[in-house]
Amino acid sequence: MTSKGEVFIEPGTVINNYIFNEQIGSGGYAAVYVVTSIKFRTKFVAKVLLPCDNDISHAWKSFDTEVSNLLKLDFPHIIRMYEYFAESNRFFIILEYCSNGSLFDYVNTYGPLSGHKLINITHQLVSAVQYAHSNCIAHRDIKPHNILMDEFGRIKLADFGISIFLANEPNCFNFKCSPAFAAPEILSKQPHNSYKADMWSVGVTIYFIATGQYPFHSTKIDKLLNEMKEIGVCLNKYHYHPLIYTLLLKTIQYNPQNRISIDEAFDIIKRCSEETTIRKISSSVSSKMLLPKHSAEKLLAFHLGRRKLSFDKSKATFPPQKLGSS
């Protein structure tokens, strides 16, 4: 078996009619490649799990979880799975290719989002989480790193490796997480409502893409929990659209019972999007209704020119008469 950190698949390798082009990410026993389908001549992404001997059960569980949950989801802002298979103790998930990388990379390269772009991206994210929750799936690892952008700038919520299907019981006893974006009840290893935990992660993600910073800065779990509980998130209400500010305020709540649901979050961001659209339309219509500014001399010259044109037309004969004709 291959050890962790080793390059899993050489570029140019063909597996199951996919040509492996380049590795674009890795972590733990998984790696992500850009691949080209020989059949469709189209780029896809292959997520490959190649565990060590002592990790194979965990890898299989992650593979089974991601595949099972993605099969239940079909939404424009959730990554689409096209195929999955196993080969030589390796597990493969073929996903749509998002050429613009992650939202984390975008913010680090171009800076925080603001205005209509922030509202639009937030709307897409909240709608994706709402769709997942409506299908009894909590993502459990929402963060800018797991939000991809396609060639048109549309986002795709990805990496459902630790997601959970909650048919009847929303409580979860799994504490695997990304600490900077995880809810305090996960960090403190308490049984928790995974839907409510997702809402915390949504809020922290929106905060990050709006500011380019993390709301909490401690790196040790105990200090991070203390910062979350005793200090809380610092929000400048004048930095955001009022409804974005409300969304942040109501999601980044230490007590999960005080966090809004995804449906309430969707109502807020929908109103925000509608207000922004109405303002843009109103502004566009108003600008088109404004008459061009001209000087008095130009207006007078234009008026006299029209009068002259009218006079000349009235004297013209159609068709023109020949000279000497009666």
Verify whether residue 141 is a known catalytic residue: yes
Largest CA distance in the chain: 113
The owner of tokens 């929908």 is: 270
Cα–Cα distance for residue pair 258/264, rounded to 1 Å: 12
275 is written with which tokens? 């207000």
- Do residues 183 and 200 lie in contact, with contact meaning Cβ atoms separated by under 8 Å? yes
CB 131 within 8 A of CB 32: no
Backbone dihedral angles phi then psi of residue 78, each to the nearest 5 degrees: -120, 135
* 194-211 and 103-110 helices, crossing angle to 10°: 20
C-alpha atoms less than 13 angstroms from C-alpha of 13 in its C-beta half-sphere: 12
CA 291 to chain centre: 40
Annotated catalytic residue, options 53, 64, 74, 141: 141
Closest CA to 232 of 258, 212, 198: 258
Which two tokens mark 75? 């939404």
Given a contact cutoff of 8 angstroms between Cβ atoms, the answer to whether 13 and 5 are in contact is: no
Q: Which residues contact 313 (CB under 8 A, 6 or more apart)?
A: none
189 is known to lie in a ligand binding site: no
Cα 260 from Cα 137, distance rounded (Å): 17
Q: 35 and 94 in contact (C-beta within 8 Å)? A: yes
Binding-site sequence positions for ATP: 47
Question: Which of the residues are catalytic?
Answer: 141
